[in-house]
Structure 1
Amino acid sequence: MARSRRTEERALDKDELAFVEKSHHPAIKELADKDLADLIRQLRDRRDKARDVANRQRREMRGKAAPAGAKGASDNTGTKEKLAILAAALKRANKERDRRGEGAVEAA
């Protein structure tokens, strides 16, 4: 399901939002290949971090892990939403990289 930019603004911090905005059309088409590779790396790092936090929070809610803070997690819907947004942005960036690779093969 498509997410609105308002939902992205609500779920992400300032740096993550900047990465996700670069993955939207038309901004992604204006990126150089090196910048696109950097964006993919940064999105992958942020997605992995969000995934790890969501998994930890889920374990805390089930009582399988000790709380990371003073109080255990009671809900992880925000973290799951962040994970989904970052995963979608990474998917868009990977698609753009693949599209550029196919264009180079066709031109040769």
Structure 2
Amino acid sequence: MAISRKDEARALSADEHALVEKSHHPAVQELSDADLAGLVKLLRERRDKAQAEAHRRRREIRGKGAPKGAKPSKADGGSQLKLAVLAMAMRRLNGEAERRRQLAASVSLVENARHALAMKQKATPAGPEFNTRTAHKGMRAIANQRAQNLVRPMELGRQRQAAKVAQAKRDAR
């Protein structure tokens, strides 16, 4: 489910909100690659911290963990919302980083293909001896090293059929 920006602002602190705002659409595309990598690192740290806090609160509510404050937490809706907001921001940033990686790979592929074509065109020999319709030396046949089978295939088939008939007669007894 989508989380509105109003809910995001309510769930996050001011500095976290500033980081998450940079992960939204128009702002994320204006970031440089280095800024994007730095933002991913910062946001991942915040998300991991919120995840640990939400996990601790859930354990506290179930009675499995010691309370952090004077009395145990009664609800963890706020920590769950904060975790969801930070996780969505991480997903947006990872998507943008992957989009940029694929774009760079595509550009690199095109450049490599053009370079390979230029090299091929430069290396192609020109002259009448290339790609003519005569064989020149061509391929040479390699003599078969196995001994030739002198038994006629028809004789082999006749013997095989005779063995089948004899076996069938024995089986019928």
TM class, shorter-length: over 0.9
* TM-score in terms of structure 2 length: 0.62
Deviation at 1:84, TM superposition (A): 0.3
Deviation at 1:46, TM superposition (A): 0.6
When Rg is computed on C-alpha atoms for both structures, the one with the higher figure is 2
Q: For 1:26, what is the secondary structure of its paired residue?
A: helix
Deviation at 1:71, TM superposition (A): 1.2
Matched ranges for 1:18-57 at <5 A: 18-57=18-57
* TM-score in terms of structure 1 length: 0.98
Which has the bigger relative contact order, CA under 8 A and spacing at least 6?
A: 1
Deviation at 1:87, TM superposition (A): 0.2
Q: For 2:25, what is the secondary structure of its paired residue?
A: coil
Runs of 4+ in 1 over 2 A off after TM superposition: none
Deviation at 1:55, TM superposition (A): 0.5
Match of residue 66 from structure 2: 66
Deviation at 1:93, TM superposition (A): 0.2
Give the whole-Å Cα distance in 2 for the aligned partners of 1:91 and 1:29: 14
Alpha-carbon RMSD? 0.6
Deviation at 1:3, TM superposition (A): 1.1
Q: Does 1:85 align with 2:78?
A: no
Match of residue 99 from structure 1: 99
Q: For 1:31, what is the secondary structure of its paired residue?
A: coil
Deviation at 1:11, TM superposition (A): 0.4
Q: How many pairs align?
A: 108
